[in-house]
Amino acid sequence: MNILAIGDIVGSVGCRFLRSKLPTLKKLKAVDLVIANGENSADGNGLTPSSVRYLLDSGVDVLTAGNHSFRRKESYDTYDECGQLLRPANFPAGAPGHGYMVYDMGRIQVGILNLMGTVYMDPLDNPFFTADRLLKDTPTITVVDFHAEATGEKRSMGYYLDGKVSALWGTHTHVQTADACILPKGTGYMTDLGMTGTVNSILGVKPELTIRKMRSQMPVRFDLVQQGPFKMDCCLFEIDDTTGRCQSVEPLELQ
């Protein structure tokens, strides 16, 4: 089967661009399952019931999240109730929602795990141990969105789960990496998918604002660039249904 993984969708401009491009791409690439990171899909960061609804209506099957998961209180019930939304599994017990699901595609089931890194990020539970705990008795096809900052942590998790999952990709940095590959034991891998939103921006934000922040070290409100060009950074993982091994990895940057 073909799984399309889409990098952090930033703001309503990112959501709209995804909606304009995804249907065609799904047909063109015979995509069976679309998993996208939605942690920045609401304007002002985080995600909301309406940004979740919009993205699922646009052809995304499952949304994952990250360090901005719980920025919006209005999203907490959605995490609990929506069967197509995950947040990192290594948040402490008691967090709204779930970090792992088995997504039922009828003829086939797909395990989906969302994890978050702890290097240069919040001190969540050790993601390696959370993976150990949740990746028992998983379906043949199981994939992981590892939302993390440090390349060393992401590549380590890739090698740690190599042969145990079908594919693992990173999210969070909003910049696509060029290291997509199949790891030695058959797992499709990519350090970061990148982002979906405006091209001439700093991770979606107006450059003059992030520059002002770094030059002044004073508080700055991060407004998003609204005008295009836009892009959708993603990666297509072709998985063998019988073995769960990754057959091919194709990074894409759709403009």
Q: Which amino acid is at 84?
A: Q
In the complex, the smallest distance separating the C-beta of residue 247 from its own copies, rounded to whole angstroms, is 19
Q: Which is nearer to Fe ion, 2 or 67 (CB)?
A: 67
Residue 26, CB-side half-sphere exposure with 13 Å CA sphere: 15
From the list 19-27, 110-118, 170-178, 240-248, the region that binds Fe ion by CB under 5 A is: 170-178
DSSP state for residue 45 in the 8-state scheme: S
68 catalytically annotated? yes
Q: Are 203 and 10 in contact (CB under 8 A)?
A: yes
Interaction between residue 40 and Fe ion (CB under 5 A)? yes
Nearer to Fe ion among residue 65 and residue 246 (C-beta): 65
147 marked ligand binding residue:
yes
Contacts of 152 (CB under 8 A, 6+ apart): 119
Tell me the residue type at 206: K
Q: Is 172 annotated as a binding residue?
A: yes
**Which string of x and - marks every residue 109-148 that binds its own copies (by CB under 8 A)?**
---------xxx-xxxxx-xx-------------------
| Residues in CB range of 11: below 8 A, 6 or more apart | 40, 41, 42, 43, 197, 204, 224
- Which x/- pattern, by CB under 8 A, does the window 11-50 give for its own copies? ----------------------------------------
Q: Cα–Cα distance between 50 and 85 in angstroms, integer?
A: 13
Residues at the binding site for Fe cation are 8, 39-40, 67, 147, 172, 174
